[in-house]
């Protein structure tokens, strides 16, 4: 320590490395999106179906105070953009009686984006929650006190991170602080509203299921899309989307905030954010377009859309905007790339659907002098470039 002028003891290296690892994990966009929670002996002590709302441990005395603090830590994560969900073998009416009537409940129903409260297999419930929320199982953390349930979910959903709670109740609050992938280097407005956004997403799904066809659903959704040149306020979210969007991402190029700022200052590049809202709420910034001009050619460097809003014809209006913008800025040819990854297959045929011509394995071309692109009829588009 004296020879190297290092202020840390060797025993501290493991903790420092651990903290750095969490920071790097977050910087690379490897964050977890959702914490799925059991209820009995997890959010409160005891079994509500047997003990009743008066008999569970939740309050100011031990061990109830441990569960209160555990919920407080979870609430902090909710406000940092982590989605909360429930996976519990219980009667739904018994479970929600605790949420509705127990005076010491910190978490409320409004904090949970989705729940599976039933007597079904918990691994199947995890899969259903992932489907309802439209997220990957690999972005979920499942927390339960029962070792058998934990092992079963591990075996059936190996992509899911499973955390078994300790029997020492006083350790519960500290467990949350050590969960992998929950750190956020910077919080965007979208992060802070994430829980409410996913609740609105489930309402959209119900509307879609009740609509007679896709066109009816899209009309009733009443979407409004804003395409806007990047600015200092939107750069953190633009960078974040390039780092974390996998499914509907044509090139999966990852850019830092410094990269986006450099593009803004380069005459050949143009960066746009795409925001979305509808009758159920504001989704915030959900898409990114990065264009590069080379003489009379416009190259689509980045074209991505959050999985929460795909298959709603937003991409159609994005492409039409790109074509018009490129033409106004002197381009005669539009080039788009599709770089395949393990996760972006949903985006593989976007350019083909827009009638761009295939030019090689993963390159698509449009002649802007002769080809016109139609904007979607199902949304109101506002352009602020």
User: What is the residue-wise DSSP string for 212-256?
Assistant: SSHHHHHHHHTEEEEEEE--TTTHHHHHHHHHH--TTBSS-----
Considering the chain, what is the average pLDDT of its residues? 92
The SS3 assignment for 270 reads: strand
Q: Is residue 62 part of a domain?
A: yes
Q: Label the pairing between strands 363-367 and 281-294.
A: unpaired
Q: Is residue 194 part of a domain?
A: no
Domain count within the chain = 2
User: What is the residue-wise DSSP string for 167-200?
Assistant: S-GGGHHHHHHT-TT---SS--HHHHTHHHHHHH
Q: Label the pairing between strands 269-278 and 223-229.
A: antiparallel
221: tokens are 């959704």
Q: Is residue 206 part of a domain?
A: no
Give the model's pLDDT for residue 375.
Answer: 97
Specify whether 168 is located in the same domain as 27.
Answer: yes
Q: Which domain holds residue 146?
A: 10-177
State mean pLDDT over 86-108.
97
Give the model's pLDDT for residue 358.
Answer: 93
Specify whether 168 is located in the same domain as 219.
Answer: no
Residue appearing with tokens 């806007």: 228
Q: Is residue 4 part of a domain?
A: no
CATH code for the domain of 121: 3.40.50.1000
Last residue of a domain, one of 160, 177, 194: 177
CATH code for the domain of 296: 3.40.630.30
Give the model's pLDDT for residue 1.
Answer: 47
Specify whether 18 is located in the same domain as 152.
Answer: yes
Specify whether 72 is located in the same domain as 220.
Answer: no
pLDDT surpassing 60 at residue 307:
yes
pLDDT surpassing 60 at residue 174:
yes
pLDDT tens-place string over residues 17-30: 656 665 666 555 56
State mean pLDDT over 103-132.
96
Q: How far apart are CA 71 and CA 238, in angstroms?
A: 32
Q: Is residue 329 part of a domain?
A: yes
Burial class (CB in 10 A: 0-12, 13-18, 19+), 119: exposed
Q: Is residue 265 part of a domain?
A: yes
Specify whether 145 is located in the same domain as 234.
Answer: no
């Amino acid at each position: 320590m004296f020879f190297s002028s290092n202020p840390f003891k060797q025993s501290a290296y493991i903790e420092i490395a651990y903290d750095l690892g969490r920071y790097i994990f977050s910087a690379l966009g490897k964050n977890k999106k959702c914490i799925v929670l059991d209820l009995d002996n997890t959010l409160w002590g005891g079994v509500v179906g047997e003990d009743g709302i008066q008999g569970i441990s939740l309050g100011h005395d031990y061990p109830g105070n441990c569960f209160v603090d555990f919920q407080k830590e979870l609430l902090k994560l909710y406000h940092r953009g982590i989605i909360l969900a429930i996976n519990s073998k219980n009667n739904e009416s018994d479970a929600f009686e605790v949420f509705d009537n127990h005076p010491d409940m910190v978490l409320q129903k409004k904090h949970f984006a989705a729940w599976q409260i039933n007597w079904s297999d918990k691994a199947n419930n995890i899969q259903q929650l992932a489907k309802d929320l439209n997220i990957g199982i690999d972005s979920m953390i499942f927390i339960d006190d029962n070792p058998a349930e934990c092992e079963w979910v591990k075996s059936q959903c190996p992509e899911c991170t499973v955390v078994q709670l300790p029997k020492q109740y006083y350790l519960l609050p500290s467990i949350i602080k050590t969960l992998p992938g929950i750190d956020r280097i910077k919080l965007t407005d979208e992060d802070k509203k994430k829980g409410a956004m996913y609740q609105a997403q489930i309402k959209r799904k119900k509307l879609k299921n009740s609509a007679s066809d896709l066109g009816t659903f899209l009309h009733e959704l009443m979407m409004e899309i804003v395409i806007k040149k990047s600015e200092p306020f939107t750069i953190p979210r633009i960078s974040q989307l390039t780092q974390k969007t996998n499914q509907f991402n044509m090139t999966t190029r990852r850019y830092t905030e410094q990269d986006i700022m450099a593009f803004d200052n380069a005459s050949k590049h143009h960066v746009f954010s795409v925001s979305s809202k509808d009758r159920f709420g504001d989704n915030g910034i959900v898409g990114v377009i990065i264009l590069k001009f080379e003489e009379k050619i416009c190259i689509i460097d980045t074209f991505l859309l959050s999985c929460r809003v795909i298959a709603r014809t937003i991409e159609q209006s994005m492409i039409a905007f790109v074509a018009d913008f490129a033409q106004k800025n002197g381009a005669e040819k539009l080039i788009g790339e599709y770089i395949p990854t393990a996760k972006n297959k949903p985006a593989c045929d976007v350019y083909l659907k827009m009638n761009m011509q295939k030019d090689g394995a993963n390159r698509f071309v449009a002649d802007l002098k002769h080809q016109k692109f139609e904007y979607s009829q199902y949304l109101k588009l506002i352009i602020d470039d």
